[in-house]
Amino acid sequence: MPQLVTVGVKRPDRSPIRVWVPVLPVVLVFLPVVVLALLAAAVACHVYRISVVRALDTGWRIVCALPGTRLDIEYSRTAVLVAIR
């Protein structure tokens, strides 16, 4: 599971901004929303006749594969850099 997300914003007219976001406290704060999302996903899986266990397993595998991912977005003269560790 990812432990830390680093977000950096580079703008030419200002100093760069870098923010470190620990994942576990954010997940704990949003836990009620996560539980509701899981229940909604389970209902959607039941409606579309998809195995709930396989869908949750696939989602968990995707979350576990996120560490090491980098996302670099440039628009005009602004750059946003996201790194998941």
Amino acid symbol at 6: T
**pLDDT at residue 10 is higher than 90:** yes
* Residue-wise pLDDT tens digits, 12-62: 889 999 999 999 999 999 999 999 999 999 999 999 999 999 999 999 999
The C-alpha atoms of residue 19 and residue 5 are separated, in whole angstroms, by 8
DSSP string, 5-62: EEEEEE-TTS--EEEEEEHHHHHHHTHHHHHHHHHHHHHHHHHTT--HHHHHHHHHHH
pLDDT of residue 1: 83
In this prediction the pTM is 0.79
Residue extents of the structural domains in the chain: 4-84
